[in-house]
Chain A
Amino acid sequence: MSAPRMPIESGVPDPFPFMHPVLKKNYGAWSYHDRPRPGVLHHVAKSGDEVWTVRAGTQRQMDVYTIRKLCDIADELAEGHVRFTMRSNIEFMVSEESKVAPLVEKLTTEGFPVGGTGPSVTMISHTQGWLHCDIPATDASGVVKALMDELHEEFIKEEMPNRVHITTSCCQINCGGQGDIAINIQHTKPPKINHDLVGNACERPTVVARCPVAAIRPAMVNGKPTLEIDEKKCICCGACFPPCPPMQINDPEHSKLAIWVGGKHSNARSKPMFHKLVAAGLPNNPPRWPEVADTVKNILAVYKEDAKDWERMGDWVERIGWPQFFEKTGLPFTKYHIDNWRGGRVNLNASAHIRF
């Protein structure tokens, strides 16, 4: 028997062989850019070279037929080079302005919305969900498809005060990340434990150590080693589930969706911000999650109406204050909004600053 093939540990590929020639030629020497229309960027290099980028939304999870169709479009109407944004938008670069309009038209006809630039609602960054994750309480691609159908107009236009980054996550680890709006699973009941399986399936000290509030301890049930939970302490985060699947946290009825707002990655104006809880208890309602879509659209509509130019969601709420946010959106303010996690006191109002 021949020796097995050993991997070539090549690591991150060099991007230059794949890069559009105008980008390669002007690497590190760009002068400015503008946006001739939503979905199109126009970059001018110090050399005078210009490049137009047409950005289009994709379903991220793509079949080979879709990818080949995008390649056909890139070969026929663009210049054979594309890139993807981290939010799964595809970008076609062309060196002549005359190629932009036919490319936009073709993409639109083929069902790839052109947009996602500037102050738009761009594609939702998301996770794997039921399609591929081992611990999901909901789907990802389906939630995103349903929401982007609803937000399509805001993707192809640039009518928001500033860019809106939405994320979704199918468990409380929140792989989707921080967002102007984050849509995350929020479990509401402690895990149901299958005591017959824990002893064999789980390394119990690891599971005990994984709990953020020390609510899990070893136990014996029916003569078998297992784990038990102090249900009063449990915060229903689900952190014990990945290392110990018999700790069933996902609950078809009681795993709800929560909406968080005001996360911001950029350092522009204010420092980066975390998103904050604004709504919870929304039903996990496939295939189109209408209650989630309604809540998100409501928040977006109020933000669009009320925020000033260049204010991100978090900037806007900081200016108007949280009481006004709840007033304007009509969302209920509850005891669950008050941060009681360690260090949470910094999120209380330690001042006489009250807006009337």
Chain B
Amino acid sequence: MAKKTHDTPMLDQLESGPWPSFVTGLKRLANDNDMMVDLMGQLETSYHTKKGYWKGGTVGVVGYGGGVIPRFTELMDENKKPLFPAASEFHTLRIQPPAGMHYDTATLRKFCDIWEKYGSGLIAFHGQSGDIMFQGCTTENVQPSFDALNEMGFDLGGAGPAVRTGMSCVGAARCEQSCLDEQKIHRTLVNAFLDDMHRPALPYKFKFKVSGCANDCMNSIHRADMAIIGTWRDEMKVDQDEVKKFVVDKGRKYVIDNVISRCPTQALSLNDDDTLDVDNKGCVRCMHCLNVMNKALSPGDDKGATILVGGKRTLKIGDLMGTVIVPFMKLETEEDFEAIEELAGEIIDFFAENALEHERTGEMIERIGLNNFLEGIGLDVDPNMIASPRSNSYVRTDGWDEEAQKWFERKAQA
């Protein structure tokens, strides 16, 4: 039996309704867990005052400089003692899940046993960072709980100015639209930079996200400093018999309204015999028609990745999307994987040397210009990197002839 629970009239109102209630979960834990009793006390206080009461600090595990999110209460009584002492330390361990977030129940049960022993019993699957968040741990128990999880084969994720926990979609494990070995790319990239993850020393965070197609289920263009998106460069596959069946099933109007006319580059046409005509040169691999006619249409065979750099959320200069730096890259052989690891290394090294403190990769590129960034990491310009050429004439072009020569030389080599 734990200490007496606090009255929580506000939180109690979140127990009703059809959606699973985290409050009911907190209460169950509070039955025999003082930390949860007091956590609920503090949370209820926040619900009344509309204020947060956590501050950060320095808590970690031996050998690492990051990965634990320290939380100490700021809610004090008149004697400057914590008002809810059993939850005065409520740290989170960020633990990296298996790529694609697959689990067997034995692993989840082991997590529960460890967290019941050392922590609050509250686990989030998963945080926005892509980590399993083991929430609610005293400073004293951070090390033993990490040791137990680490012995199971799990490692801390990223926090602070570091390479962060990566994310990859379910991809090849269960999706016919997958154009990549997502988990392998995810693991290759993150695991190559574990030193930059565990010992934060970059200007700011750096995130990898891998989506197997342009549906970008991992939100990587919006959120990743380096986004790897699956695509293909040969022709998409069309099973014309399935196309015909789809037309019979849905009707011509549906197909014209929802497939043909929705193509962003007018690359589709429905033939008079209800087969599909595809202009593969005009297709931008947006995935819409494949999403709608999933059985009839598939990615081609010559698969690879488009790489975009610089996506991030608002802080500091406003939201930025990633922009293309590699239009297409094969990712099949060991040499291909070495090449992407090398590219990521170039980018991270350049970021480490050139970004200002607390500046993301996208902001750095905004400040110095894409040309300087490309030069710094050793990539050639490509018209796939732009939405349109510059529209402002204020540019110095005295190197034009040499640059044009380089373009023709590259074309001749291709």
Contacts and interface: CB of A to CB of B under 8 A. Distances in A.
Assign chain B's interface to a size class: 35 or more
Interface stretch (A56-64, A94-102, A215-223, A329-337): A56-64
A150 to B, nearest CB: 8
A10 B316 contact: no
A33 B191 CA distance: 32
Interface string A150-188: 001000000000000000000011111110000000000
B412 interface: no
Contact of A28 (B111, B181, B229): B181
Most chain B CB inside 10 Å of its own CB: which residue of A30, A67, A263, A342: A67
A257 B289 CA distance: 37
Contacts of B367: none
Contact of A149 (B18, B127, B183, B264): B18
B102 interface: yes
A145 B102 contact: no
A36 interface: no
B304 interface: no
A9 B175 CA distance: 30
Given A11-B190, A12-B166, A142-B14, A178 B219 contact: yes
A253 to B, nearest CB: 8
B47 A269 contact: no
A63 B18 CA distance: 18
Interface stretch (B76-84, B149-157, B373-381, B395-403): B149-157
Contacts of A321: none
Contact of B146 (A7, A51, A75, A269): A7
A34 interface: yes
Nearest to B71: A132
A interface, over-half SS: loop
Contacts of A5: 62, 147
Interface string A118-144: 000000011111111111111101100
Most chain A CB inside 10 Å of its own CB: which residue of B22, B46, B98, B194: B22
A10 B154 contact: yes
A287 interface: yes
Contact of B294 (A33, A57, A274): A33
A23 B315 CA distance: 39
Interface stretch (B23-31, B266-274, B275-283, B337-345): B23-31
Contacts of B107: 18
A69 to B, nearest CB: 10
A12 B99 contact: yes
A343 B319 CA distance: 12
A204 interface: no
A245 B317 CA distance: 21
A177 B190 contact: no
Given A23-B173, A132-B90, A135-B52, A66 B20 contact: yes
Interface in B136-175: 146-147, 150-151, 153-156, 165-167, 170, 172-175
Contacts of B121: 63-64
Interface string A280-296: 00001011100000000
B310 interface: no
Contacts of A34: 294-295
Nearest to B96: A12
A258 interface: no
Interface in B55-104: 55-56, 61-64, 69, 71, 90, 92, 96-104
B85 to A, nearest CB: 18
Interface residues of A, number: 115
Contacts of B410: none
A272 B294 contact: no
A250 to B, nearest CB: 6
A9 B146 CA distance: 12
B187 A12 contact: yes
Contacts of A133: 52, 54
Nearest to A165: B219
A55 to B, nearest CB: 11
Interface string A27-40: 11011111000000
Contacts, number: 356
B20 A57 contact: yes
Interface string A1-34: 0001111111111110111100110011011111
Interface in A310-342: 310, 341-342
B361 interface: no
Interface in A201-215: 206, 209-210, 212
Contacts of B288: 268-269, 310
Interface stretch (A83-91, A226-234, A298-306): A83-91
B102 A19 contact: yes
Interface in B183-211: 183, 186-187, 190-191, 194, 197-198
A270 interface: yes
Contacts of A255: 50
Given A28-B172, A130-B46, A342 B318 contact: yes
A24 B318 CA distance: 41
Interface in A229-253: 237, 239, 245, 250, 252
B46 A139 contact: yes
Nearest to B109: A71
Nearest to A41: B174
B333 interface: no
Nearest to A173: B315
A199 interface: no
A57 B146 CA distance: 28
A348 B178 CA distance: 38
5 contacts: A12-B190, A59-B21, A128-B127, A287-B10, A287-B13
Given A135-B52, A174-B313, 18 more contacts: A7-B155, A30-B175, A31-B295, A58-B20, A59-B21, A61-B22, A62-B25, A88-B125, A130-B43, A130-B46, A138-B50, A145-B23, A152-B17, A265-B216, A267-B214, A267-B229, A267-B287, A274-B222
